[in-house]
Chains A and B, each alone.
Chain A
């Protein structure tokens, strides 16, 4: 399998080239061309003895073409000696092949998730420069034309350069804020793949796997950062439920109705082991708490065997870590499982006054479920219908419409 190898080597090759030539934008283009050349040649010519060296050599050749063209351009534009005095490494100098340096990948991630970038730009640049995906693959996964994605990536590189982003480890003071941006970008990639994983939509499912792979790479470099382990565990424990969460027509199946036999038990035990090994070993962060919640869900044989008091307590802890009404919503669901729907509905009454979530379909969906459990079917139907009219996710809309329709049919029986 050539593709996994290329994706693994991509950041190492880019690290070697960019360290030599400093010009991140051009080096990144050169590496992308080398990866595309390898994907075309290796399947017919066979794997080279030293794939990493092959990629570096081809990327360096592209880079020197670029430098020659750049020198010529500057000569044309100004008759000054500027071009001649620019310090570039000798063209025939191939960077030392040395050992794969995991810190290179981390430095690249910090660059691609530069705070000057918007989330969608950071995602695109990360997938290409660190993930080793081609522009076409990224465009496919995000359902935009390839030229749009190419432009987004080149503008992102220009923006990083303009903001003074350099290929070097951020300072110690900066590092923790930068790491949380990196983790956020990885989680965005995961969710894009997970939220849209409808039946056969494999291109997009691949985004979730890519996010998990990137988190593993970060963990290799930062084995003692509990939030890195927390994010990896959270994604493994969430992805484990993928096969059970949609029906044959792509309709959404909620957690309590899923066939737990379809869950991926290898992923569950890896995620659960990971989160229990780091939880409490250092500062607790939101990813660790969410992973702990996911592991309680995944390790329960049924929805009723779930440790809801513990989940309610963990959501309570999460609420103190971040002021997020979605977390409060999940907390209300867990409380309703422990103390009954009336308690949950009382908590939701507060949220209905919170402008950040009052108009969100999730609030109506949860109100629908709790009203149903409380036996108030007319209110439940109205909430499910309202939620269906607000969501922009088609599988979610189908689920909510059918849910309302079933309750309406039950009433008239």
Chain B
């Protein structure tokens, strides 16, 4: 079964507390942890895809106008407390395994090497592309 693991980052405080403000060795350790995590997923044969996303100030929301041309606005919703920083798609045998891997990603070291406990949203991937609910 395939799952998407979505890593959320708090929107508030990004400028003052985000990774860009950490000491250099903490940034390096975080990067090293994430690289090792991806390598483990690949070695276990559970990796499907993983991508980091550009920051939300570059995000846009697109809707079709009546004439079907794109209407582009800044997005996502500015009142949101968190933004999607990146995701993994994994192919595993059970939801429990997906939760274990999500917990591993969540435990990435942050500032001062402390465990971050990043919230990771785990969603099972359905068998066809999305349709609106």
Contact = CB atoms under 8 A, between A and B. Distances in A.
B20 A388 contact: yes
Contacts of B32: 249
Which label, helix, strand, loop or mixed, suits the secondary structure of the A interface? helix
A398 interface: yes
B55 interface: yes
B39 to A, nearest CB: 10
B27 A401 contact: yes
Contact of B23 (A249, A385, A392, A409): A409
Interface string A383-404: 0010011101010001001101
Interface residues of B, number: 17
A409 B52 contact: no
Contacts of B128: none
Interface residues of A, number: 17
Contact of A392 (B22, B26, B54, B57): B54
Contact of A402 (B28, B57, B58): B28
A398 B27 contact: yes
A127 B27 CA distance: 38
A408 interface: yes
B35 interface: yes
Contacts of A402: 24, 27-28
Contacts of A401: 19-20, 27
Nearest to B26: A405
B119 to A, nearest CB: 21
Nearest to A403: B24
Interface in B33-79: 35, 52, 54-55, 57-58
A250 interface: yes
Contacts of A68: none
A251 B31 CA distance: 10
18 contacts: A249-B28, A249-B31, A251-B28, A251-B31, A388-B20, A389-B55, A389-B57, A394-B52, A401-B27, A402-B24, A402-B27, A402-B28, A404-B20, A405-B21, A405-B23, A405-B24, A405-B27, A406-B24
